[in-house]
């Protein structure tokens, strides 16, 4: 005899609870994917960044050598009158004198992204190119500046942004011996050459790149140093070729330069215990262009040629945590000759006359980092810039 049995189904509440519990598990697992992707991207950046910087140095060395660069005293004796022995009544215009002819970090000239005509292939190919020894000259129309942005280090019109060797590239004279003008070498690196993968074909066919790099130069003790900054560009609105945006600028702005004394609440960075935590950084808005060095993972080059990384950064103005560097700035030795002389403390690669002289220990512990250069985290077109790597090497 068959006995009828009743089978009880799941109630609606039980189904909803089961779905809720399942959803929590799926969401928990799903949150791991973005973190994993971000970590994978960072690992890729760590590996590829140094490779790109090394390739960039190889490219630069193939275009210029040490003897292509010159001392700044060849163009303006006011650059280091105390150190060059010049008798100049209006004083020095150099903020960082070291030895005669040396010059601080200078960003090379850059050809504007609106240069020339859209229908001229040569003009389009030059847009965004860096022009190392470009001159600062007035626009032929008499309005504004030329199509090459040059960082000024003197108030003399017609001098290059980066001093070149005038013995190797002498000034021009006519047949009668009358002076014509400067004759700087043309040393350029195109925008397509400063991307990875590199591109040498037609500009119109240049593909979207994964990485880009920019650079700056410095002469210290007669030797040329090069700083390379590698970065990624994230553009949510469009795809295609990337060129550094020069709109609204009258001089190069990448890498960005910040005078910590006047443009940051931290002031100069010290080299004492705990100095890797930068007091005053919480008072600045990291969205501000001059405070974007505070973002997590930033790469920074200081006026002494040292590279710093931001271990713990800030993304919002309401974040009251201090920016923390991966390591504190290193103490710098000073010349023994100035100890007790009443002169400002002078270390081997930096001199700021506004600081008191160094302690008797022979090492300066305050004001070690007064000026920094870094890549911004965004540009005027709303593109996100992700700093990847920075290095300083001798040319």
Distances (CA, A) of 31 to 35, 196, 387: 7, 31, 25
Residue 141 has pLDDT above 90, yes or no: no
Mean pLDDT of 4-28: 74
Q: Is residue 305 part of a domain?
A: no
Q: Is residue 130 part of a domain?
A: yes
Residue 72 has pLDDT above 60, yes or no: yes
Do 122 and 179 meet the contact criterion of CB atoms below 8 Å apart? Answer: no
pLDDT in tens, 335-374: 544 444 444 444 444 444 444 444 445 566 667 888 999 9
By C-alpha distance, which of 80, 97, 91, 92 is closest to 347? 97
Q: Is residue 298 part of a domain?
A: no
Count: domains in the chain: 1
Backbone angles phi, psi at 291, to 5 degrees: -115, 10
Q: Is residue 247 part of a domain?
A: yes
pLDDT in tens, 374-393: 999 998 888 899 999 999 99
pLDDT in tens, 227-241: 999 999 988 676 667
pTM of the model: 0.84
User: Before 36, cis peptide (omega within 30)?
Assistant: no
Q: Is residue 7 part of a domain?
A: no
Report the pLDDT value the prediction gives residue 153, as an integer from 0 to 100.
82
Residue-range definition of the domain harbouring residue 158 = 38-254+377-395
Strand, helix or coil for residue 341: coil
Report the pLDDT value the prediction gives residue 122, as an integer from 0 to 100.
87
DSSP string, 63-76: H--GGGB--GGGT-
DSSP letter, residue 160: B
Q: Is residue 343 part of a domain?
A: no
Report the pLDDT value the prediction gives residue 143, as an integer from 0 to 100.
44
With cut-offs at 50, 70 and 90, classify the pLDDT of residue 133: very high
With cut-offs at 50, 70 and 90, classify the pLDDT of residue 33: low
CA dihedral for 161, 165, 169, 171, sign (positive or negative): positive
- What is the spatial distance between Cα 267 and Cα 212, in angstroms, rounded to a whole number? 31
Q: Is residue 70 part of a domain?
A: yes
Burial class of residue 90 (count of CB atoms within 10 Å of its CB; 0-12, 13-18, 19+) = exposed
As a 3-state breakdown, the chain gives helix, strand, coil percent values, each rounded to 5, of 25, 25, 55
User: What does pLDDT average to over the chain?
Assistant: 82
Q: Is residue 226 part of a domain?
A: yes
DSSP string, 168-219: TSPPEE-TTS-EEE------EE-GGGGEES---S-GGGPPP-SEEEEEEEEE
């Amino acid at each position: 005899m068959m006995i009828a049995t009743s089978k009880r189904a799941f109630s609606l509440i039980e189904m909803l609870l089961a779905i809720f519990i399942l959803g929590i598990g799926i969401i928990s697992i799903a949150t791991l994917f973005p973190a994993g992707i971000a970590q994978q991207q960072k690992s890729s950046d760590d590996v590829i960044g140094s490779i790109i910087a090394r390739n960039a140095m190889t490219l630069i060395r193939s275009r210029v050598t040490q003897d292509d660069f010159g001392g700044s005293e060849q163009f303006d004796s006011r650059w280091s009158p105390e150190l060059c022995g010049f008798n100049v009544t209006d004083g020095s215009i150099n903020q960082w004198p070291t030895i005669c002819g040396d010059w601080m970090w200078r960003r090379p000239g850059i050809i504007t992204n609106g240069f020339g005509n859209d229908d001229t292939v040569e003009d389009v190919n030059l847009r965004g190119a860096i022009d190392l020894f470009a001159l600062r000259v007035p626009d032929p129309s008499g309005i504004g500046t030329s199509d090459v942005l040059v960082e000024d280090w003197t108030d003399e019109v017609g001098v290059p942004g980066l001093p070149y060797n005038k013995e190797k590239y002498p000034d021009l004279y006519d047949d009668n011996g009358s002076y014509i003008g400067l004759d700087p070498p043309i040393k350029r690196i195109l925008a397509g050459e400063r991307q990875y993968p590199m591109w040498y074909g037609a500009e119109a066919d240049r593909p979207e790149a994964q990485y880009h790099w920019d650079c700056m130069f410095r002469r210290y003790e007669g030797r040329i140093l090069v700083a390379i900054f590698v970065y990624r560009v994230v553009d949510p609105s469009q795809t295609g070729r990337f060129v550094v945006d020069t709109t609204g600028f009258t001089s190069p702005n990448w890498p960005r330069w910040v005078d910590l004394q006047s443009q940051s609440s931290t002031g100069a960075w010290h080299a004492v215990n705990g100095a890797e935590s930068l007091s005053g950084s919480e008072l600045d808005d990291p969205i501000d262009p001059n405070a974007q060095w505070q973002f997590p993972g930033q790469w920074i080059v200081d006026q002494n040629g040292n590279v710093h990384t931001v271990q713990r950064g800030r993304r919002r103005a309401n974040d009251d945590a201090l920016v923390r560097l991966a390591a504190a700035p290193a103490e710098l030795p000073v010349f023994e000759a100035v100890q007790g002389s009443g002169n400002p403390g002078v270390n081997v690669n930096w001199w700021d006359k506004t600081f008191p002289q160094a302690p008797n220990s022979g090492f300066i512990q305050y004001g070690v980092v007064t000026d920094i250069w870094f890549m911004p985290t965004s540009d005027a077109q709303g593109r996100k810039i992700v700093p990847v790597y920075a290095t300083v090497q001798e040319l």
